[in-house]
Amino acid sequence: MRGFGIALSCVYALGIVAVQIHLLRFGILDITAIDIYYFLVGSWVLMSLLPCGVLLLVTEFVLFGKSSAYTKLISIGLTVGLLCFSAWIVQYRAHQYVLNFNTYPYPKWYVYWNFTAVNLVLLLIWLILLRARKLGCSPLTARAVGLGLSSLAVLIFSVFFGRTIYPALDKGVGGGASQFAWLWLSIGDGVRKPVMLVHVSDSYVYFMELTAFPQDIESREPSEQYAKDCSGPVYRALARNSVTRISHDKVDGIDMIGFNQKKIIDRYLFEGRYFFWQRE
């Protein structure tokens, strides 16, 4: 039970680090003592390490397990197949439902590079420790050193996650991508402003004010990156990096501008394009 509590605390801590690193980019410091949202973000950090984790578990089983060679061969085949299938899902399918690059301020390859780099670093740590065990280092010492180095690598990754991956995750899956919205202020008869919502806390709404919305905002897709348009309102807002904080009692309402579902409906309902295949 103690180990389970420690694991939950680590996930929670990773979530806090990732979220706060993201918010500090806008000059915001907002730490809530108990918030289930941090568990969700921390879980995303750990899920980013899943390919490496699965590969290492199976490799340990193959190298040091006592099963037959046939069983080990099946394990290797299933693992390689699972990793390839996961890579296909992430690259060509799942990214359009998980990632949102509309207000992302960095090149898209930052997301994939940081995801790949941390898995390679953990694999490198394991290979070094494996070599140490072959040279006579005791398993207990190797595991202790490996745990320390891996923990440090994951902690450093949570910083990069909050800086480069979390801002590209859609709000619908617990990410930090800014959202387009009309903000109604309780001033006079009411003022409506086009904004990019950065963060909403228990007391305040944090936003970047836009001169206007992008022209095709009603028909946009998550893969579109408006920061590339140097003359556009999103680029100017991100370059200025001026975040306004306003209390909830001064806000009459927030009208979120979601993604147009017509393309999705037409694509999957009428054109016959499904998740895994396309009907001829």
Whether the per-residue pLDDT at 156 is higher than 50: the answer is: yes
Q: Examine the domain organization and report whether 85 and 146 are in the same domain.
A: yes
Whether the per-residue pLDDT at 1 is higher than 80: the answer is: no
pLDDT at 276: 47
Q: Examine the domain organization and report whether 128 and 260 are in the same domain.
A: no
Domain assignment present for residue 279? The answer is: no
How many domains are there within the chain? Answer: 2
Q: Examine the domain organization and report whether 240 and 125 are in the same domain.
A: no
Determine the structural domain holding residue 147 and report its residue range. 2-173
Q: With cut-offs at 50, 70 and 90, classify the pLDDT of residue 19.
A: very high
Q: Examine the domain organization and report whether 183 and 155 are in the same domain.
A: no
Q: Examine the domain organization and report whether 149 and 18 are in the same domain.
A: yes
Q: Examine the domain organization and report whether 76 and 53 are in the same domain.
A: yes
Tokens representing 39 are 């568990």
Q: Examine the domain organization and report whether 98 and 199 are in the same domain.
A: no
Q: Which of 28-37, 62-71, 77-86 shows the lowest mean pLDDT across its residues?
A: 62-71
Q: Report pLDDT digits (tens) over 89-121.
A: 555 555 667 888 999 999 988 888 888 888 888
pLDDT at 86: 62
Which residue, chain included where needed, has tokens 């008869």? 189
DSSP 163-179: IIIGGGB-GGGT----E
Indicate the pTM of the whole model. 0.80
Which of 149, 173, 197 terminates a domain? The answer is 173
Which of 158, 173, 188 terminates a domain? The answer is 173
